[in-house]
Homo-oligomer: A and B are copies of this chain.
């Protein structure tokens, strides 16, 4: 097999990448746990019937479906070959999880979930078919506390990762449909216009208008243009109907409660004090998933053309599984994008191993001696690996240098009273005969510093 690659759009995680990912996830988890979010996990796959139609029709095309097995596949007569699919986000799994385990969970349930999801998207630079999300959600509370808290917690996580230069876009999922309906759009036109407006920040007002030629009549496009011009490209929009121009005034009766709600969120976040959160009203915000039905928000970094995190309220989704409405609100960090930003900044430390010492065998047949020495070093707190005997001692040093192991302990055959030991340092390249005691006293500080 010459083409030995992982599946298209999926990646291997090499050790240095694993250490980096692991350390970032630890930072995120620590922040979320300090807010009372508790970790859960769910199967990577869910029954197909739960996944289809929950997040809009588009999601089904993106699913990796799992073939039925054995007799169930043979018995199939309806052409439905699959019975499960890999999850495409963590929210639908959370709702199914909540419906399944509700009797075991507290009435107010805060959970986080750091796990991979899968989408059969066309692979692109920076877009993968298997990628991690880090979600926090609050289930069981219809007040504005969840919105405030998931925003505060996620902003704190982003800051703890060292990504300071960001701001939060906020709006309400119901805002654009109210405006568009008042412009005379049909339901279908509303849906299509939402898809176009979602790209506003990328393609601009003219791009949206060009795209809307395919489904909007001339007069509706003129209304859309006036509205978009009023709301676009300003980070200082007030949370008021006045800030939404002519169409804001026309729909003020319906829009005012949504804006009042957003003003409360903004005020509570300010009252929580601490480092200020840059909250920006962004009326053109859409968010992809169809399940949002209240406030929505995204975190953007000023230097990158993509959001680092996105979320919102989805009070209707759990009801689909449970047959009873349960309010819910969450925020999801796009972990791969965070990683991209961290790597571009070059601020992340590279680590290839946690080992501090390499025991190098200078003769054949002394594996036991080497393993014994390594065991004693580990017992003293020094992570240690053993390299097998090789006539080329250079290879053992290359191994240590490549992995960034600072110390090499060379061990020969036991003779007379004790071991013949040498201690070498791969950084300053020093090398000298040494006793067990002097090795320990040299190595102990290394462990402390690391």
Contacts and interface: CB of A to CB of B under 8 A. Distances in A.
Interface of A: 1-2, 4-7, 10-15, 18-19, 22, 33-36, 38-47, 49-50, 61, 64-67, 69-70, 81-82, 84, 86, 96-97, 99-101, 104-108, 110-111, 116, 118, 120, 130, 141, 143-145, 148-149, 152, 267-274, 320-323, 352-355, 358, 367-369, 371-372, 374-375, 378, 383-389, 395, 399, 402-403
A321 to B, nearest CB: 5
B47 A100 contact: no
Given A34-B383, A64-B69, A272-B371, A388 B143 contact: yes
Given A43-B10, A81-B81, A388 B108 contact: yes
A273 B372 contact: yes
A152 to B, nearest CB: 7
A42 B6 contact: yes
Nearest to A100: B4
Nearest to A82: B67
20 contacts: A5-B100, A7-B43, A7-B46, A12-B43, A12-B100, A33-B353, A33-B354, A34-B355, A64-B84, A66-B66, A69-B120, A107-B399, A108-B399, A145-B386, A145-B388, A149-B386, A152-B371, A268-B371, A271-B368, A272-B368
B273 A375 contact: yes
Contact of A38 (B18, B81, B268, B274): B18
A371 B378 CA distance: 44
A329 to B, nearest CB: 12
B11 A39 contact: no
A384 B34 contact: yes
Given A33-B354, A36-B353, A273-B375, 6 more contacts: A12-B41, A12-B42, A12-B100, A19-B38, A34-B354, A66-B66
Contact of A18 (B40, B70, B107): B40
B65 A6 contact: no
B64 A66 contact: yes
7 tightest CB-CB pairs across the interface, nearest first? A271-B368, A36-B385, A10-B43, A272-B371, A15-B38, A13-B41, A4-B99
A13 B46 CA distance: 14
Contacts of A64: 45, 66-67, 69, 84
Nearest to A95: B4
